[in-house]
Amino acid sequence: MSDLRGKSAIVGLGMAGVGEAPGWSAMELLGLAAVEAVSDAGLRMADIDGVFAATSSHAFPTMSVVEYLGLQPRFFDGTNVGGSSFEMHLLQATMALDAGLCDAALVCYGSNQRTAGGRLVSMSEPQWHETPYAPRHPITAYGLAASRHMAEFGTTRAQLAEVALAARAWANLNPDAFARGPLTLDEVMSARMISDPLTKADCCLVTDGAAAVVLTRADRAKDHASAPVYFLGAGAANSHRSIAQMPDLTTTAAAESGPRAHAMARVNREDLDLVMLYDAFTINTILFLEDLGFCPKGEGGRFVEGGRIAPGGALNVNTNGGGLSCVHPGMYGLFLIAEAVTQIRGAAGERQLKRCDLALCHGNGGTLSSQCTAILGSGATL
């Protein structure tokens, strides 16, 4: 296998409409983020010759993006593996750049689903063998996973609540986070039950928001306006489509994607400064901490106790406030990357980590179906 470590770098970042953006369409927000990312990279839009996109509302996202931005790309990929699409796009963009199929890759996403109706928008089709039982995905699937984790390992609702409290504490340090303000254990524990054992407080936000990043080959990256954030490795794994086909509801395919990403990046878990985990629901954070090896299987609930993943804790997790308290516009995966880039650049303001050279972004798609892990680093990690 050819070595992709350090072969590309993120040289531009843009975000738009994070939170609430009434009066803006999904594509308009995406356009704002893309323009900002290209400008941040010191490029012209016409320089973009690779397009990577997936959205919740476009059947042919790369076609729509190409038309809207007036691009003439040589290479494009619209792989849609839900919220994990963008970690996959980092890998695909790096392959395309390394192969010379494009020179400047745009990875982008946009959604206005909060102001367009306030409900999670999805193009996900029902599964015929599930339809008679009226699951309300995604929460039904994640409720099932949480029920099994509790039964098998004794995980408690208070431990799930710790995840929500940590996310809010980080969000309170992030002026761009949508859900800010005090949050108590009692408030989380007494929130309305939606799909046992998950309450409203265990669920991610439904917000608007767009994000975009620009990647170039590493040998060109130093010429750009912003300090490059290097692609060090990525790995993917897909275990199922429908939750009933997931082999073990307490172990996700992150247990495979994580080691693949680490093998490519040749970095140790202990050296990570930042861990960005796709927290669509509180149980996700616990599952991914376990599956990515931060604690043994079944110990995730105990691991997050006592503010261990909150500001000042032993492990820096979801420093933007996560999907739970910062932003979750349907597919959140690109916002994991945006926060990692912001932290590695040292531009995270009050929530800035003292040292952030190495960050892991873990995307999740479907109903714990697709798991894609990407590892990013500063120039010091090359």
Partner 1 sequence: MTGDAMSYGKGPQAIYEAYLAQGRFMIQRSERTGEYVFFPRIPAPSGAMDLEWVASRGTGTVYAITVNRSRAGSKNVALIDLDEGVRMMSTLPDVETAPIGSRVIARIEPWAEGHRVVFDLAEKGAG
Q: Cβ 297 to partner 1, closest distance in Å?
A: 16
Answer for the pair 215, 94: CB distance below 8 angstroms, yes or no.
yes
Select 148 or 345, whichever has its Cβ closest to partner 1: 148
Torsion of Cα atoms, 302 then 139 then 198 then 336, to 10°? 50
Select 90 or 243, whichever has its Cβ closest to partner 1: 243
Cα distance between residue 228 and residue 243, in whole Å: 39
Select 93 or 145, whichever has its Cβ closest to partner 1: 145
Burial class (CB in 10 A: 0-12, 13-18, 19+), 304: buried
Answer for the pair 92, 77: CB distance below 8 angstroms, yes or no.
yes
Select 132 or 312, whichever has its Cβ closest to partner 1: 132
266 CB-near residues (< 8 Å, 6+ apart): 5, 232, 233
Q: Cβ 151 to partner 1, closest distance in Å?
A: 4
Select 37 or 144, whichever has its Cβ closest to partner 1: 144
Give residues in contact with partner 1 (CB under 8 A). Answer: 128-130, 132-136, 140, 143-148, 151, 192-198, 242-245, 249
Q: Cβ 41 to partner 1, closest distance in Å?
A: 45
Select 238 or 242, whichever has its Cβ closest to partner 1: 242
Q: Cβ 150 to partner 1, closest distance in Å?
A: 8
Q: Cβ 143 to partner 1, closest distance in Å?
A: 3
Q: Cβ 131 to partner 1, closest distance in Å?
A: 9
